[in-house]
Amino acid sequence: MRTVDRLLGSFGLRRANISAPENIAPPASATSGAQAAPYPPVDPGIPALSIDEILAPHSDLIERIKVCYGMDRPTFEQELLSLIRRYAEFVHLLPATPDNYFNAPGGLLRMGLETAFFSLQGTDGHIFSGRATITTRRHLEPRWRHATFIAGLCSEIHRTLCHVIVTNEHGDEWQPYLSPLASWLSAHSVTRFYLKWLPNVHESRTLGVFALPHVVSGEMLQHLATGNTVIVPHMMASISGMPIYRDRNILDDLVRRSVALVVDRYLQASADRYGQPQLGSHLERYLVDALRRIVSSNSAWTPNGEKSRVWYGSDGLFIVWPNAATEMRVLLESDQLPGIPKAPETMLEILIAAGVFEPQHSGQATWHIAPPDLKTVIEAVRLSSPAILFAGLDPEPKPLAVPLIHSAASANAGASAAPNSAAHGGPTLVNTAHKPSPARQLPLPIETEPAPHDRSRATATVGIIGDIAASANPAHAGQARSKHAESTVSKHASVLPTFKLEAPMRLNPAVRDALAQIVDTLNRDGAVAAARTVSAGLFIPLAEFEGRRIEPSLALRALADVGMLVHSHGTNGSSSQTDVLDFGDDKKLGLVLHPRFIAGLDPADFDAGNAGEG
């Protein structure tokens, strides 16, 4: 329960004591041999119950939805309960999956209700239409909440159109594009229906829009679209799984987190009760989304660029691995999605199983490629289709005219190359004579205080992550540097800390992603660190945001709005969001981030009392 509370609290939700409905049976693995199964085995089918009978076990959750919605009974019944009944008519007692999460009869209905509840609950901590006037927001907020509930309820409705075939005892099939399942059962006087799950089906979330008219009436869509042009497009984008690149889709953020939370809760409960369930099958969408977001926002992922993570040749599209997995993990951790894997090996297994990555014919998961102008061979994964990564990019990158896959004839040349590229943030070099280690090597920990003749080198080892350099008050810089360096050596005598961004949830997602990448460079070799500590906090040159396609003005405004900046004060008493400080061998214009937003930094070691002022 504590784990669930932390997951809910991380994005502004409260734990509801939602118990499983009585008519949902445990997974097949839970059944014991107490009753002898018939031989030969016979599919018992699923009973065709009335809508009132289907919804009765969920009455407690429906009542919680009413309380969360905050409207009177007539309004709730008109706006939400009617939706719930129409959704129940369409999905009836269908399971969500054949043998994984919510796989019992009624599982798809339960999953939709729980996702809708948590999505609706999450709207309490977010502001929609933030640039509009207070009067406009007051007019639109109820519609945003209504649309968020619909998107959560119908987030998995596409499964009825592409994952399962429903038949009666005579083999007649339900046509989900034409009518709800309950209507078909009634029209054909079906008492029990039977399921046939289609094998090796990949998610087609866009099909959900064809099922939506059976749940959401045209009058309700017109109500949501009154006085605005954004609510319905954002809701449809969330249901269909299509990104909106020019605007942040807060509605979809809430739904995605709620789906991840609901599935994670179910899998945890299943592991406790019925043994280890199948993990990772619902994570494909988040991993693919992370790949697309990084390639559209991170200059290091520009295809075929110098030291790029992405290489596109005549023989396919490749991503350097496991370097890319580290940046994906940082991005997904900033999203605070529960259940996201940490290890590159786990990500690789999930994406290969989903058909996103294509292994070699020998079964080897990764490939060895030799990009032009590089004298070394690098390890990479191959995407099954370039469209997976380049969807929505305009213009779409063009492939190189040469193949990238490393031929066996030049393997020895690649094996003898010097591995120096990884230290500069480039691709991991592969020695073809030995299997490369999947883990990224970190600097060795500081174990003892260095001898006097090595003291200068020890300061460089602490380097950018531990040193306090000269700032606006140079008179105390030397004393502060010595004090902080000694503190760093004593605190991290055995383990080098991991630095991670801990930003408020309402921070602009693009700025959050760029900032997480900048902070993560502190965990690497000091030569590639994109920030350094000063007496007030963490100094970040504005050029680092520009290199990640973020306008400095946008970064400053977004960070100031959530109180993450430390303002500098001039001699005339003026306050500024930026400062010019030493960085490397030059002075650069940048901002100072309060240390309390960086895990691994102790705010007590800094003089950052002015964060968020102005």
pLDDT number for residue 108: 94
Regarding whether 168 and 87 lie in a shared domain, the answer is: yes
Round to whole Å and give the CA distance between 526 and 461.
Answer: 8
Regarding whether 575 and 462 lie in a shared domain, the answer is: yes
Residue 179 placed within a domain: yes
Residue with tokens 């948590």: 118
Regarding whether 557 and 464 lie in a shared domain, the answer is: yes
Residue 416 placed within a domain: yes
Residue 610 placed within a domain: no
Regarding whether 294 and 264 lie in a shared domain, the answer is: no
Round to whole Å and give the CA distance between 213 and 179.
Answer: 10
Per-residue model confidence as pLDDT tens digits over 92-111: 999 998 878 888 899 999 99
Residue 611 placed within a domain: no
Q: Look up residue 531 and give its amino acid.
A: A
Residue 155 placed within a domain: yes
Residue 124 placed within a domain: yes
The span from the first CA to the last CA of the chain, in angstroms, equals 40
Regarding whether 313 and 178 lie in a shared domain, the answer is: no
- What are the tokens at 499? 């630095």
Which run of H or E residues covers position 582? Answer: strand 579-583
Q: Whole domain around residue 351: which residue ranges?
A: 284-424
pLDDT number for residue 166: 92
Which of 374, 405, 424 is the C-terminal boundary of a domain? 424
Regarding whether 149 and 44 lie in a shared domain, the answer is: yes
Cα 327 vs. chain centroid, distance in angstroms? 12
Regarding whether 348 and 264 lie in a shared domain, the answer is: no
Cα 601 vs. chain centroid, distance in angstroms? 25
pLDDT beneath 50, residues of the chain: 1-4, 7, 10-11, 15, 20-35, 273-280, 409-496, 611-614
Regarding whether 176 and 265 lie in a shared domain, the answer is: yes
Which of 229, 244, 274 is the C-terminal boundary of a domain? 274
Regarding whether 149 and 247 lie in a shared domain, the answer is: yes
pLDDT number for residue 466: 35
Regarding whether 358 and 248 lie in a shared domain, the answer is: no
Q: How far is CA 209 from CA 157, 220, 241, 251, in A?
A: 9, 15, 10, 16
Contact 304, 310 (CB under 8 A): yes
pLDDT number for residue 349: 82
pLDDT number for residue 241: 84
Round to whole Å and give the CA distance between 560 and 544.
Answer: 17
CATH code: domain of residue 147: 1.10.3210.40
Number of domains in the chain: 3
pLDDT number for residue 281: 53
Residue 23 placed within a domain: no
- What are the tokens at 47? 């009973």
Per-residue model confidence as pLDDT tens digits over 215-271: 999 999 999 998 888 899 999 999 988 877 666 788 888 898 898 888 888 877 765
Residue 195 placed within a domain: yes
Regarding whether 205 and 140 lie in a shared domain, the answer is: yes
Regarding whether 359 and 478 lie in a shared domain, the answer is: no
Which of 274, 309, 330 is the C-terminal boundary of a domain? 274
